[in-house]
């Protein structure tokens, strides 16, 4: 089609959306279904799993034949060591902001006192501008989140955070890499500019443009680049990407075991510790993810530093 060729010459992100592509785009942004490696059928308005494909994400997650798929979150969390929470946002969809706020509220249930938060935006390729703004608004107390500039006056907009920090100043580290793009870069850039989070990992993808979907009938449309977006400090991440505060390349973690080490307790006739237990012992956990491992250690260090009892001044 002529329209496909025309749009293809504009920029890498403008395109004609045929029936199949338009449907997939709606599914991705709504969060109702994504390609997870499963054969499905429709039953009473829900998606029923016929069988998961061997080795697929669905298979590894334990999806079974006969399961019904109601919805798929793009946000999930887990508690790591030392009361540090890791929230993974895989993609910014329609309900991402709501899911994120719910997870934040669950961190302060009862007497629980979290020590830090890791937001993992690695390999988060795209998503909705509105959802990325909602996520930042949950954390920033006030101030500019992002602004857009385009050829049309309607494309020139500024987005601000409402008053209130759902995390009460809790230390945050955001993980990014070359697969972090678009909405993920908006979140990282806003929180970095406001000094609200440390960015750790490698430089992001560098997609600093906004696309608008124009429907053509009920099942087709066109996607056009209509504006560029800028971080609060006026930085365009187009091509350059978000630069981490701390650059950590992916690497393998290996613990060196020194079986021949000698300590005081190994010396014949050493003095015993008058206090029961060994104060020097610490729980040691390892992970295959060195970037996550460094983020955990950094947050633990910040917590210890911020909570050390300061000595009283002499009168």
Spatial distance between the Cα atoms of 126 and 122, rounded to a whole number of angstroms: 11
Q: Are residues 57 and 204 in the same domain?
A: no
Q: Which active-site residues does the annotation give?
A: 182, 193, 207
- Give me the half-sphere count of Cα atoms (radius 13 Å) on the Cβ side of residue 252: 3
pLDDT at site 37:
56
Task: State whether residue 103 is helix, strand or coil.
Answer: helix
Establish if 63 belongs to a structural domain. Answer: yes
**Tokens 């996520």 sit at which residue?**
135
Q: Are residues 81 and 66 in the same domain?
A: no
Question: Who contacts 188 (Cβ-Cβ below 8 Å, separation ≥6)?
Answer: 121, 174, 176, 180, 197, 199, 204, 242
Establish if 53 belongs to a structural domain. Answer: yes
Establish if 172 belongs to a structural domain. Answer: yes
Q: Are residues 111 and 229 in the same domain?
A: yes
Establish if 91 belongs to a structural domain. Answer: yes
| Domain assignment of residue 132, given as a range | 75-247
pLDDT at site 166:
94
Q: Are residues 56 and 163 in the same domain?
A: no
Q: Are residues 97 and 109 in the same domain?
A: yes
Q: What is the pLDDT of residues 29-63, one digit of tens each?
A: 544 334 455 565 555 555 566 666 555 555 555 66
Return the bridge partners of 47, or none.
42, 69
Domain count, the chain: 2
Establish if 110 belongs to a structural domain. Answer: yes
End-to-end CA gap in the chain = 85
Q: Rg of the chain's alpha carbons, rounded to an integer?
A: 24
Q: Please, which pLDDT band fits residue 295 given cuts at 50, 70 and 90? A: very high
Quote the mean pLDDT of the chain.
Answer: 81
Domain boundary residue among 247, 280, 305? 247
Domain boundary residue among 213, 247, 281? 247
Q: Is the pLDDT of residue 241 over 90?
A: yes
214-226 residues labelled b (16+ CB within 10 A) or e (exposed): eeeeeeebbbbbb
Q: Please, which pLDDT band fits residue 244 given cuts at 50, 70 and 90? A: very high
**DSSP string for 252-314:** ---PPP-TT---GGGSTTPPPPSSSS-TT-------S-HHHHHHHHHHHHHHHHHHSPPPPPP
Q: Are residues 91 and 234 in the same domain?
A: yes
**Tokens 């937001």 sit at which residue?**
119
Q: Is the pLDDT of residue 271 over 90?
A: no
**Tokens 């390892």 sit at which residue?**
286
Q: Are residues 222 and 124 in the same domain?
A: yes
Spatial distance between the Cα atoms of 248 and 64, rounded to a whole number of angstroms: 37
Establish if 285 belongs to a structural domain. Answer: no
């Amino acid at each position: 089609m002529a329209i496909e060729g025309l749009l293809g010459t504009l920029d890498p992100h403008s395109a004609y959306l045929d029936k199949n592509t338009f449907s997939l785009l709606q599914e991705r942004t709504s969060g109702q279904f994504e390609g997870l490696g499963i054969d499905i059928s429709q039953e009473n308005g829900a998606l029923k799993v016929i069988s998961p494909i061997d080795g697929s994400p669905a298979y590894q997650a334990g999806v079974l034949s006969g399961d019904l798929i109601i919805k798929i979150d793009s946000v999930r969390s887990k508690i790591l060591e030392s009361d540090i929470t890791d929230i993974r946002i895989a993609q910014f969809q329609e309900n991402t902001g709501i899911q994120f706020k719910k997870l934040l509220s669950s961190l302060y249930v009862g007497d629980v006192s979290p020590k830090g938060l890791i937001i993992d935006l690695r390999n988060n390729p795209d998503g909705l501008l509105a959802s990325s703004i909602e996520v930042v608004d949950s954390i920033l107390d006030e101030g500019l989140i992002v602004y857009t500039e385009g050829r049309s006056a309607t494309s020139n907009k500024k987005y601000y955070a409402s008053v209130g920090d759902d995390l009460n100043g809790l230390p945050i580290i955001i993980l990014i890499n070359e697969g972090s793009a678009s909405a993920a870069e908006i979140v990282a850039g806003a929180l970095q500019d406001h000094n609200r989070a440390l960015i750790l990992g490698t430089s992001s993808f560098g997609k600093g443009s906004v696309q608008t979907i124009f429907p053509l009938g009920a099942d087709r449309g066109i996607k056009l680049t209509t504006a560029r977006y800028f971080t609060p400090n006026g930085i365009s991440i187009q091509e350059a990407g978000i630069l981490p505060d701390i650059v950590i390349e992916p690497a393998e973690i290996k613990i060196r075991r020194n079986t021949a080490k000698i300590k005081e307790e190994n010396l014949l006739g050493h003095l015993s510790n008058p206090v029961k237990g060994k104060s020097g012992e610490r729980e040691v956990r390892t992970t295959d993810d060195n970037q996550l491992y460094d983020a955990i250690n950094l947050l633990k260090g910040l917590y210890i530093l911020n909570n050390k009892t300061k000595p009283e001044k002499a009168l």
